[in-house]
Structure 1
C-alpha cells in the first residue's frame, strides 16, 4: 500500500512503544508517527476550545484540521508542536491520556485521522507508534511489532516519567488507571487494541531499551 517501508509498533499504555519507536526511527534515520499524540492533541484542543467530548462532529472537525508537527530532539525526545506552540509536556499528563482514550473511542475521530496518519509514510521509511497501526492504519506494513508488559511494570515506568516531569501520582492509582484504560482500549467497538495476526509480540517487562531496539532492528533486517 505504501512505497516507503513501514514498521508498526503497537501496544498498551506504558509498554514502551513510544520510546522504542523513537530509538528505532533514529537508528534507521526514518520518519516517526506518534499516533497516540494525535489523539491527545484532539483531546487537548477540544478542552482548550470548550468542546464537549459528546459532540462527535466537533471532535472530528478538530481532528481533520490539526496543525501539528513531530520534531525529534536530542536524547530521543519527541517535540510536539500544535499551531506553532510546543505542547509536548501539556499533552503528556495523566488527564490528557485519559481524555485521549475517550476521544479515541469516537469513530468519526478515528476516521478523520486515518488518512492523515497514512500520509506520514514517506521515504526513507516510517516507524508508526500506536494501538491500531498494524491492524488498521498500515495493514500491509513491512514489519509489525506488538509490545506488552505487566500492568505493574507499566505503572512503575509511568510513575518515573511523571516524577521526572515534576508531576505527582501513586503507583496503586496508576495500576488502576492502566487496567481501566486497557479494558477501554481493548473492548472499544472500533479499532480495538490487539496484536495483528502477523505481528511479532515482544514482552518488554524484563528487557532494557537497547535490548528491545536491537530485537526490532534484527527482525527488520532478517525479515
Structure 2
C-alpha cells in the first residue's frame, strides 16, 4: 500500500515474502505477465537469495575447515510438540530443506553469518539455526521456550527486558537476490546493505 501510494501504481504483485521482523530485499511486479514469469523462475529455482544473520552462538566447529560453515539438509514441518500453531521444527514428516551457513565474523559469543537457501520453506533459516544450537539473535519464536513466547505475546517487550532478551527484533536480513530479467534474461542483482545488523547488536549489549 505504501509503495502504490508513493509511486501512484495501480497494482503490485508480491513475488515472495519475508518474515515480519526480517529486513532487506523484497521484490514486486507491476504487471501480471511479469509476475507469472517470476513465479515460474521461483518454481524452477532460478532465483538465488543470500541472507545475513547474527547467531546467538558460533557454528559447530569443524577443525578441517579454515572458515566455519555448515550445510544442513533436514526436513521441516509443524512442531508437533508445541502448542504454538505457527512454530516449525525439524520433522521427518516435513518437507525437504537445505540451508548453508558460513561464518563471517565472531563477536564474543555471537557470530555474523552468510546464509544461502536452496529451498523456500516457512521459517527455514530460523528453524535450521535453532536446530544447530545457535538461534538467530532476537528470534522470540525459536530463541525462547514455548511459555516464554506466549508470555511475550501477552506482556510485550516488558517481558523481554525482564528476561534480558537481547533485542526487540530478530537479526535476519535479506541481503541479496539474483534472478534472470523476466524479458531479457539478463542477470539482475539487487542488494540491501546489512551494516545495521551489527550496530543493532552492539547497541543491545
TM-score (norm. length: structure 2): 0.27
TM-score (norm. length: structure 1): 0.26
Which protein has the larger Cα radius of gyration, Structure 1 or Structure 2?
Answer: 2
Normalized per residue, the structure richer in helix is 1
